[in-house]
Amino acid sequence: MRARHWIQSWIRTAPTRAPAAAAAALLALAALAGPVRAQDRGQITGVVRAAATQRPIVGAQVYIPGTTLGTITDAQGRYVIRNVAPGTVTVRAEIIGYRTAERSTTVAAGATAQLDFALQETAVALDQIVVTGTAGQARKREIGNSLSSISANEIANAPVRSMQEIINARATGVTVLSNSGQPGAAGAIRLRGNKSIAMGNEPLVYVDGVRLFSRVATAPGAARQGVLPINDINPEDIERVEIVKGAAATTLYGTEASGGVIQIFTKRGTAGTPVWSMEISGGFNNLGHVGPKEDPTGLFLKRCRGPDLVNSEGAPFEDGTCPPSGTWLRNGPVQRYAFSVRGGAPALTYYLSGTYNDEQGVIQNNYSKDGGLRANFSFRPLETLDIVVNSAYTRRKIRWLPDGNLANGFTLNVFRGPNTNFKNGRASCRERV
């Protein structure tokens, strides 16, 4: 301080000295004044801990918003912010997995302010990761394609029985066209409608990266129905479904993907104790009135035998193909059983599941029975090596009726009345008076 006063006095008493000497004196004054201003600032120090356990948090970011002053906590959770201007300041502490905290403190010139933080744990919503035809994974917001995703949480409590019911109306532009109510009958899947006349309109299907036959497998005979291979996958085994629509699908997967792409990812095991899951459900299929309005009793469908019925000639009416119950209709029972278990160690995880379904139709001798097993094993002997084995076995037995507008179609023959093929063309009948 004395040197500073001496230089100021020297400048005042020697105004006529050379300009170079005056400049040198000003530089000396600035050099002495700098340390004095630094001594006017203070610093903030403290510890960042977890509120629940009081354990120090390593790597937390502690800074003064709106400034460039900040630091990172060390292994003991301590931090020091230096060169803080005197006054009241707000300090913020944040780290992923904890709720951001802010506190205010007053910093005196040349002093150290103590400011500790206790952060509360909180869940963090990260960007959704999707898998497309491009190499590796990407964040959903970075994908330029039209992509929809259906997670297991969305269908956990939904009454879905097949894959086509999972994707129907749960993603924009997805339509499943069903042309029959028979058990096990497949529907036509369309993503944003039909795309081509010369090529197929069915979307490509991949299960855990392996391409699956995606078209409807038509059954032989007059049933005029088919099965859809993706319906052999148990809905309980689905982790998520990703659907790529639009022209971008052909860029990623080739011209065959003009109808879009459906990617199915099945569940995998997790390290820890075994977690079991079991589901048992049941019900029945029922059909209301079917037929012309002038026949409110559904005579040819609901009543095909009975002592109170006579044909057009007055003889007792009896259809030789009629079931013993005297009606074609019934309440078809439905029963479903499913179980799964997942667990393992950090180096080896597993997921096992099984299912059995028995669905009876509303028409006699019309049913679909299927069951299967799925096993998924993941083995990681090295940090850079991951071996995954995924296998499944499914068996389905279906009995369908002749369907559609054909000569031997069931519905057509039942409702043709006098022109029916049943009972030699004399199936029209009336109640006996």
* Span 39-62, pLDDT tens digits: 678 999 999 999 988 899 998 999
Q: What pLDDT, on a 0 to 100 scale, did the predictor assign at position 62?
A: 94
CB 86 within 8 A of CB 58: no
Place of tokens 């002093």: 111
Helix (H, G, I), strand (E, B) or coil at 277: strand
CB 206 within 8 A of CB 263: yes
Tens digits of residue pLDDT in 149-193: 788 777 777 777 788 888 877 777 788 877 777 888 877 788 877
- Locate 120 and state its tokens: 């509360």
Task: Output the CA torsion sign for 76, 82, 88, 89.
Answer: negative
Task: Find, among 284, 353, 346, 297, the residue nearest to 326 by Cα.
Answer: 297
* Top-level class of domain 129-266: mainly beta
Q: What pLDDT, on a 0 to 100 scale, did the predictor assign at position 15?
A: 44
Tens digits of residue pLDDT in 354-385: 999 999 988 878 899 999 999 999 998 887 88
pLDDT at 145 over 70: no
Distance, CA of 314 to CA of 334 (rounded, Å): 41
Helix (H, G, I), strand (E, B) or coil at 337: strand
Structural domain boundaries of the chain? 2-38, 42-119, 129-266, 272-431
406 phi/psi in degrees, rounded to 5? -130, 170
More confident residue, 195 or 291: 195
pLDDT at 420 over 90: no
The residue ranges of DSSP E strands in 51-186, in sequence order, are 61-63, 70-72, 78-84, 87-94, 101-107, 112-114, 117-119, 129-131, 137-139, 146-151, 174-178
Distance, CA of 305 to CA of 336 (rounded, Å): 33
More confident residue, 323 or 357: 357
CB 12 within 8 A of CB 34: no
Residue 203 neighbours by CB under 8 Å, 6+ apart:
189, 190, 191, 214, 243, 257, 259, 260, 261, 262
Tens digits of residue pLDDT in 237-251: 888 888 887 666 776
Distance, CA of 151 to CA of 208 (rounded, Å): 15
Place of tokens 């679909």: 368
CB 41 within 8 A of CB 86: yes
For the ranges 42-51, 193-202, 383-392, 393-402, the lowest mean pLDDT is seen at 193-202
Domain 42-119 belongs in CATH node 3.40.190.10: no
Place of tokens 């007053």: 106
Residue 361 neighbours by CB under 8 Å, 6+ apart:
181, 182, 183, 285, 332, 367, 368, 401
Q: Among 207-211, 252-256, 428-432, which range has the highest average pLDDT?
A: 207-211
Task: Output the CA torsion sign for 48, 54, 59, 60.
Answer: negative
| pLDDT tier at 231, thresholds 50, 70, 90 | confident
What does the pLDDT average to over 129-137? 49
More confident residue, 375 or 135: 375
For the ranges 79-93, 314-328, 346-360, 375-389, the lowest mean pLDDT is seen at 314-328
Distance, CA of 227 to CA of 398 (rounded, Å): 10
**DSSP 8-state secondary structure symbol assigned to residue 248:** H
Q: What pLDDT, on a 0 to 100 scale, did the predictor assign at position 312?
A: 57
Helix (H, G, I), strand (E, B) or coil at 22: helix
In whole angstroms, what separates CA 146 from the centre of its chain?
15
Q: What pLDDT, on a 0 to 100 scale, did the predictor assign at position 329?
A: 83
pLDDT at 2 over 50: no
Looking at the chain, the whole-number percentage of residues with pLDDT higher than 90 is 24
What does the pLDDT average to over 92-106? 91
Residue 343 neighbours by CB under 8 Å, 6+ apart:
269, 270, 271, 272, 273, 274, 275, 349, 350
Helix (H, G, I), strand (E, B) or coil at 199: coil
More confident residue, 200 or 32: 200
